[in-house]
Amino acid sequence: MRVHFCGVRGSAPAVGVEFAGVGGNTSCVAIAHDGEEVPRLILDAGTGLRAVSNLLAGRPFRGTILLGHLHWDHTYGLPFFRGGDRPDAVTRLLVPEQGVDPIDLLRRFMGPPAFPIEPDQLRGDWMFESIDEGSHSLEGFEVLAREIPHKGGRTFGYRISDGASSLAYLSDHGPAGTMGPGPDGLGPYHEAAMTLCSGADLVIHDAQYTAGELPDRVDFGHSAGEYATELARRARATSIVLFHHDPERTDAEVEAIERQLSSSDGPLVIAAREGKTLELPLDQRVER
C-alpha cells in the first residue's frame, strides 16, 4: 500500500514561507495499491485534492473519494480537482450517512450563491452516495467505518487494509469535548478509536493542538498530539502520523512537536508533510 500525503493542514489553508516545509493545503490522503501507478482511493477532499491530479500524470481519476465528514476544510478541493472534473473521469464520492441525500448535503456549500456550480455539474461520471458504519469493500481495499466524536456533524474514522498492511485514519477526532477528560485529561481512549487503530501499521490522527493548548480549545473538536501518540501506543500500532496541523503552526513548531513526542519505546512518530509518500508495511523503526 502506498500512501500519498497531499494536504495535511486543518481548519484553513496556511500560506507563507514559515509553513512551506510542512505544507499549507488542507486534508487529503491518496492511497494506491502496490504495483499500481495511480491512487484509486482518496481520503478527504480538502485543498490538497488538487495535488492528486499531479499523481495521475494526465490521466483521469477513476476511483472513490471517501469523506470523513463535511466541514469546509475537507471539501474545499472538490470543484478544483482537475483529475475528476473531466469527461473521461469516473468518481464515486461517499459521505457519512446522515439521513439526507448526499448531493443535497453537498449543495449546502457547493452551489449558488456560495459557489457558481453544483456538485452534479462537475464533468465526468460522478456518483454521490452515503456510507454507514461497518465493513465495506472499496477499490480493492477492505474499509472499516466507525463513528468518532467531532463537533458539527456526523464524523467517521476509517481503517483501510489491503490484506498485507493496514492504516487507520482519524483526521478530526475530539473525544475530550464530548466524552470527558479520560485518564490523562486529553480524552478517553474509547472503543471505536481503539478498534480502528489496533495493530495498525500506520495511524494518521488529528494532532491540531498540544496538551497545553487543549484546555482552552477543548470544544473545537480536535485532539492533542500527546493523545494521538498515546492512543497509538495503547493500540500497539507500528507508527503514528501527526496530522491536521493547526493553520498557525509553523514548520519549526511542527518539527519541535515531532521531536518532543518521539520515544525509543513507543510507535514511530512522524509529522505529516505535504508531498510525502509512505510505503506500507513500514519496517519496524524505519521511515521510508
* DSSP-H helix ranges across 68-162: 102-107
Asked whether residue 286 is assigned to any structural domain, the reply reads: no
pLDDT at residue 263 in the model = 85
φ and ψ of 80, to 5 deg: -110, 15
User: Quick check: is 285 in a domain?
Assistant: no
C-alpha cell at 113: 450563491
Q: Please, are residues 238 and 203 in contact by the beta-carbon 8 Å criterion? A: no
**What's the number of domains the chain is made of?**
1
CATH number at residue 131: 3.60.15.10
Distance CA 251, CA 240 (A): 18
- Please tell me whether residue 254 adopts helix, strand or coil conformation: helix
Q: What is the pLDDT of residues 42-68, one digit of tens each?
A: 999 999 999 999 999 999 999 999 999
Residue 34 lies in a domain: yes
Rg of the chain in Å (alpha carbons) = 18
Contacts of 104 (CB under 8 A, 6+ apart): none
Cis previous bond, 281, omega within 30: yes
Compute how many other C-beta atoms are within 10 angstroms of the C-beta atom of residue 175.
Answer: 25
Region 136-156: mean pLDDT is: 96
Give the rounded distance of the alpha carbon of 122 from its chain centre: 23
Q: Distance between CA atoms of 224 and 222, rounded to whole angstroms? A: 7
Percent of the chain with pLDDT over 90: 94
Task: Give percent above pLDDT 70 in the chain.
Answer: 98
pLDDT tops 50 at residue 288: no
Which is nearest to 257 in space by CA: 209, 189, 188, 185? Answer: 209
Q: Is residue 286's pLDDT more than 50?
A: no
Q: Is residue 284 part of a domain?
A: no
Is 195 part of a structural domain of the chain?
yes
Burial tier of 135 (Cβ tally within 10 Å: 0-12, 13-18, 19+):
exposed
CA 18 to the chain's CA centroid: 23
pLDDT, averaged across the chain: 95
Q: What is the pLDDT of residue 86?
A: 97
Interatomic CA distance for residues 169 and 174, integer angstroms: 14
Task: Look at residue 287 in the predicted model and tell me its pLDDT.
Answer: 46
Q: Could you say which DSSP state residue 253 is in? A: H
Nearest CA to 107 among 97, 96, 99, 115?
115
Residue 48 lies in a domain: yes
Task: Tell me what the mean pLDDT of segment 23-34 comes to.
Answer: 97
Q: What pLDDT, on a 0 to 100 scale, did the predictor assign at position 22?
A: 98
pLDDT at residue 6 in the model: 98
Pairing of the two strands 277-279 and 268-271? unpaired
* CB of 162 closer than 8 Å to CB of 198: no
| pLDDT of the residue at 200 | 98
Identify the band that residue 285 occupies on the pLDDT scale cut at 50, 70 and 90. very low
Query: Which amino acid is it at 97?
Result: E
- Residues 79-98: pLDDT tens digits? 999 999 999 999 999 999 99
Cα gap 46→11, rounded to integer Å: 10
Res 162 pLDDT > 80: yes
Rounded average pLDDT over 129-143: 98
Residue 185 lies in a domain: yes
Q: 3-state DSSP call for residue 149?
A: coil
Parent domain of 178: 2-279
Is residue 111 situated within a structural domain? yes
Question: Contact 225/10 with Cβ under 8 angstroms?
Answer: no
Q: How many CB atoms lie within 10 A of CB 195?
A: 14
pLDDT digits (tens, 9 = 90+) for 225-274: 999 999 999 999 999 999 999 999 999 999 999 999 998 788 999 999 99
Q: Do the beta carbons of residue 207 and residue 8 sit within 8 Å?
A: no
